[in-house]
């Protein structure tokens, strides 16, 4: 017999089986609005690259009309980097119905500079649902992440990027072990995501759950995020963002920022974060801006309301001297942040702090925070001593029950 013939025959059988399935499905008359990836060569063996088959189904759906569906049935599909692009001019809604599990390649050479794993771009009316999962297989890449030690670093691939979309709904999708962010929402309008489950180890670097930037009309609600960085992060030029019903932890909490790192960043305004449970995280609700910002920008009209904290390192924090892992230019480390913060409201935030300082308002000495309101705050230190608050360059107003005691 041939050496290794058993392995060869198994591989040959797998290829033939996939080929037979494709041929059989092409004979089946299916509704013209549904485009099954298996009809375009997809094979759920967990080994075969399905990027071209998926693109075939996407392109057929995108060039169709009305309400169309791209079906990814149950099974494990190996998938190299792929970009699903529009515009889909005659389509009302394009539903990607993901029932299976997608597994990313661990070969970083396959990802071009700036490329991510799965990207949806330039589409109106995208729907992503079906209960399936994205597995970024990030554990093979985290050792190559230089961002914790370099201010300007090569960014690893994001698992799913939503780019320049309008009228988007994501529902009931799972994401595990991304190489970098789970999801990124960039240049989007009217984007809603709910019933998400996201998970990565607590020590996995830069694995933000959902990162939002340069977007408006974004709603994220009723989801569970357990990861190694921010559960939700809101970046520059984001407006009208509503976050609610998030169960967060472990991770770094829910953050606005970091801001002020790059030149000519856009303002952040009209953000509501409410009805969330945050537990065993480094931070709770945070606004973070880099010191020595290269240009001016602002954060205004922000509401954090009805947040339950449990064993959170810094439950309420404004940090305008943000400099993770001592990455700042030490010659300029005393130059204050040029990001102005105003009209921030903290209401009904209760629970426990893992550190004695439960409230930190560390604002810019160059542009002090204006109109910071805290109402009905009850945060006990788990160590037993009374919790405390720290304020610097912050114009604050306290009302209702307050623990820790107000600071000036």
Residues 337 and 406 in one domain: yes
Asked whether residue 39 is assigned to any structural domain, the reply reads yes
Residues 69 and 217 in one domain: yes
Residue 326: its pLDDT value, please? 66
Residues 307 and 186 in one domain: no
> What gap in Å lies between CA 209 and CA 160, rounded to an integer?
11
Residue 115: its pLDDT value, please? 87
Residues 273 and 403 in one domain: yes
Asked whether residue 246 is assigned to any structural domain, the reply reads no
Residues 79 and 136 in one domain: yes
Residue 335 CB coordination number (10 Å):
15
91: nearest Cα among 136, 160, 18, 35: 35
CATH of the domain at 359: 2.160.20.10
Residue 330: its pLDDT value, please? 56
Asked whether residue 281 is assigned to any structural domain, the reply reads yes
Choose the catalytic residue: 252, 314, 330, 345: 252
What residues make up the domain containing 306?
263-408
Contact 368, 390 (CB under 8 A): no
Residues 131 and 200 in one domain: yes
Residues 6 or more apart whose Cβ sits within 8 Å of residue 102 = 72, 77, 79, 118, 132, 133, 134, 135
Among residues 229, 254, 278, the one where a domain terminates is 229
Residues 184 and 271 in one domain: no
Residues 314 and 401 in one domain: yes
Residue 325: its pLDDT value, please? 72
Asked whether residue 153 is assigned to any structural domain, the reply reads yes
192: nearest Cα among 244, 255, 251, 257: 244
Tokens encoding 176: 């595990």
Among residues 174, 209, 229, the one where a domain terminates is 229
What's the sign of the alpha-carbon dihedral 322, 326, 327, 331? Answer: positive
Q: What is the 3-state secondary structure (H, E, C) of the chain?
A: CCCCHHHHHHHHHHHHHHHHHHHHHHHCCCCCCEEEHHHHCCCCEEEEECHHHHHHHHHHHHCCCEEEEEEECCCEEEECCEEEECCCCCEEEEEEEECCEEEECCCHHHCCCCCCCEEEECCECEEEECCCEEECCHHHCHHHCCCCCCCCCCCCCCCEEEECCEEEEEECCEEECCCCCCEEEECCEEEEEECCEEECCCCCCCCCCEEEECCEEEEEEEEEEECCCCCEEECCCCEEEEEEEEEECCECCEEEEEECCCCCCCCEEEEEEEEEEEECECEEEEEEEECCCCCCEEEEEEEEEEEEEEEECEEEEEEEEECHHHCCCHHHCCCCCCEEEEEEEEEEEEEEECCCEEEEEECCCCCCEEEEEEEEEEEEECCCCCCEEEEECEEEEEEEEEECCCCC
Tens-digit pLDDT string for the chain (408 aa): 334 444 433 343 454 345 434 433 433 333 458 999 999 999 999 999 999 999 999 999 999 999 999 999 999 999 999 999 999 999 999 999 999 999 999 999 999 877 899 999 999 999 999 999 999 999 999 999 988 777 777 889 999 999 999 999 999 999 999 999 999 999 999 999 999 999 999 999 999 999 999 999 999 999 999 999 999 999 999 999 999 999 999 999 999 999 999 999 999 999 999 999 999 999 999 999 999 899 999 999 999 999 999 999 999 999 999 988 766 765 555 789 999 999 999 999 999 999 999 999 999 999 999 999 999 999 999 999 999 999 999 999 999 999 999 986
Q: Which residues pair with 316 in a beta bridge?
A: 285, 359
> What gap in Å lies between CA 174 and CA 196, rounded to an integer?
6
Instruction: Give the total number of structural domains in the chain.
Output: 2
Contact 378, 401 (CB under 8 A): yes
Asked whether residue 328 is assigned to any structural domain, the reply reads yes
310: nearest Cα among 366, 365, 351: 351
Asked whether residue 222 is assigned to any structural domain, the reply reads yes
Residues 267 and 314 in one domain: yes
Residues 43 and 182 in one domain: yes
> What gap in Å lies between CA 145 and CA 156, rounded to an integer?
7
Residues 58 and 179 in one domain: yes
Contact 405, 374 (CB under 8 A): no
> What gap in Å lies between CA 78 and CA 375, rounded to an integer?
50
Residues 181 and 320 in one domain: no
Tokens encoding 114: 């700036």
Among residues 229, 255, 278, the one where a domain terminates is 229
252 catalytic, yes or no?
Answer: yes
Asked whether residue 101 is assigned to any structural domain, the reply reads yes
Asked whether residue 383 is assigned to any structural domain, the reply reads yes
Residue 302: its pLDDT value, please? 99
């Amino acid at each position: 017999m041939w050496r290794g013939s058993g392995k060869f025959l198994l591989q040959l059988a797998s290829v033939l089986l996939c080929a037979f399935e494709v041929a059989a499905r092409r004979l089946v008359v299916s509704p013209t609005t549904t485009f099954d990836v298996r009809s375009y060569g997809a094979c759920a063996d967990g080994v075969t690259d399905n990027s071209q088959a998926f693109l075939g189904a996407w392109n057929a759906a995108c060039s169709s009309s009305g309400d169309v569906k791209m079906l990814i049935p149950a099974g494990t599909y190996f998938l190299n980097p792929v970009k699903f692009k529009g515009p889909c001019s005659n389509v009302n809604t394009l539903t990607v119905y993901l029932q299976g599990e997608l597994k990313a390649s661990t070969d970083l050479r396959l990802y071009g500079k700036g490329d991510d794993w799965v990207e949806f771009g330039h589409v109106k009316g995208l729907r992503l649902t079906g209960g399936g999962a994205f597995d970024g297989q990030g554990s093979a890449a985290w050792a190559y992440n230089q961002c914790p030690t370099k201010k300007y670093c090569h960014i690893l691939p994001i698992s799913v990027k939503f780019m320049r979309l309008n009228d988007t709904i994501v529902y009931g999708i799972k994401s595990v072990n991304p190489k970098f962010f789970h999801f990124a929402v960039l240049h989007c309008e009217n984007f809603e995501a709910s019933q998400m489950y996201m998970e990565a180890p607590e020590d996995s670097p830069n694995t933000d759950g959902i990162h939002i930037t340069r977007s408006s009309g974004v709603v994220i609600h009723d989801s569970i995020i357990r990861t190694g960085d921010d559960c939700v992060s809101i970046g520059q030029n984001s407006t009208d963002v509503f976050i609610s019903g998030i169960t967060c932890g472990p991770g770094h909490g829910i953050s606005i920022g970091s801001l002020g790192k790059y030149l000519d960043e856009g303002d952040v305004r009209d953000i509501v974060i409410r009805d969330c449970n945050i537990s065993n995280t480094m931070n709770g609700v945070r606004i973070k801006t880099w010191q020595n910002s290269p240009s001016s920008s602002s954060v205004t009209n922000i509401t954090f309301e009805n947040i339950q904290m449990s064993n959170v390192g810094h439950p309420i924090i404004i940090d305008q001297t943000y400099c993770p892992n001592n990455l700042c230019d030490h010659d300029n480390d005393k130059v204050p942040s040029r990001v102005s913060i105003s009209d921030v409201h903290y209401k009904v935030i209760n629970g426990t702090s893992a550190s004695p300082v439960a409230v930190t308002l560390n604002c810019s000495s160059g542009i002090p925070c204006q109109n910071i309101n805290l109402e009905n705050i009850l945060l006990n230190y788990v160590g037993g001593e009374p919790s405390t608050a720290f304020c610097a360059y912050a114009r604050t107003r306290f009302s209702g029950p307050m623990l820790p005691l107000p600071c000036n």
